[in-house]
A = this chain, B = another copy of it.
């Protein structure tokens, strides 16, 4: 990725100036926004959102949608937490069990939406509800007292960075590599733009989104397990409630179109950062509770406005296309 900030890049990612403006504003208002502890805190808190927003974004680019992530997150947290607290499960066991739970939910969603062809919105709204019920049924009481092994998942430092951040970076890099470097990456866009044309071009139009449902389920459950490890406790009734909306918001604010076929991972990472910084800044400034909600709502509207402006700004900064060749006049 070329990191230089060109006008064209700014036009494409209008969140960049907004994030910079927010950072400056919050720093001026509080004097404690910029600072390694606070910034690292934002990164750690946003890591779970990023881990789920990234595969979700690929799913949306391919023209599908997974709303069930909030409950899959809870299921992953419950699965890992249960093994850790009731059976002294270690790091590997807990993570594997959480991934398995996530893959199971992903497989159900993927089967119904990609193979059978049901509406992803209704199906995953259904699994959102059903999986939450299941998670609560499995662990009606809070799970606590995890062993050190599992605590490592969320608490370790790798090269000075908290492990959730490291995992999020890995997820972004892997997904980014798939999207940019492999043929499947192009297939994801192609399916999102025109499923029919992709099918006629020999693209696996069922398998690819199915795999993305699996990845989204696995990542959601992993995120739940990570948060359980960080917090040292799981409550099945509240873990990840509303998370699906946060994920979708990050994806859409990051410039991925709900209609599929367009968007970039860089944009999604910006979307996650935007939400994390907003939440942090409002608390830092000490905005009263209800006004925080109002501000968060308005921020979404502003983000929608930016998404609207972006292609228009891009057109202005566009490199002029070469003029078409003029046929030589005959007469």
A residues sitting closer than 8 Å to B (CB atoms) are 112, 116-119, 121-123, 125-134, 136-137, 140, 245, 249, 252-253, 258, 289-301, 303-305, 307-308
CB of A300 within 8 A of CB of B123, answer yes
- CB-CB < 8 A to A253: which residues of B? 122
9 closest Cβ pairs, A-B complex: A130-B297, A133-B293, A126-B300, A129-B297, A133-B294, A122-B304, A137-B290, A126-B301, A118-B304
Known: A118-B304, A133-B296. 16 other contacts (CB 8 A): A112-B304, A118-B301, A119-B258, A119-B304, A121-B258, A122-B252, A122-B253, A122-B300, A125-B300, A126-B303, A130-B293, A130-B296, A133-B293, A133-B297, A134-B290, A137-B294
Number of copies: 2
Q: Complex: how many Å from CA A190 to CA B87?
A: 60
- In the complex, the chain B residue whose C-beta lies closest to that of A135 is B290
- CB-CB < 8 A to A298: which residues of B? 126, 130
- CB-CB < 8 A to A116: which residues of B? 305, 308
- CB-CB < 8 A to A299: which residues of B? 126
- CB-CB < 8 A to A295: which residues of B? 130, 133
- CB-CB < 8 A to A305: which residues of B? 112, 116, 118
Q: Complex: how many Å from CA A301 to CA B113?
A: 10
> CB < 8 Å: which of B128, B136, B294, B307 contacts A119?
B307
Query: Closest Cβ of chain B: how far from A255's Cβ, in Å?
Result: 11
Main secondary structure of the interface of A (DSSP, over half): helix
- CB-CB < 8 A to A122: which residues of B? 249, 252-253, 300-301, 303-304, 307
What would be 16 A-B contacts, judged by CB atoms less than 8 Å apart?
A: A112-B304, A117-B308, A119-B258, A122-B249, A122-B252, A122-B304, A126-B298, A126-B300, A129-B293, A129-B296, A133-B290, A133-B296, A134-B290, A136-B293, A137-B291, A140-B290
- CB-CB < 8 A to A123: which residues of B? 300-301, 304
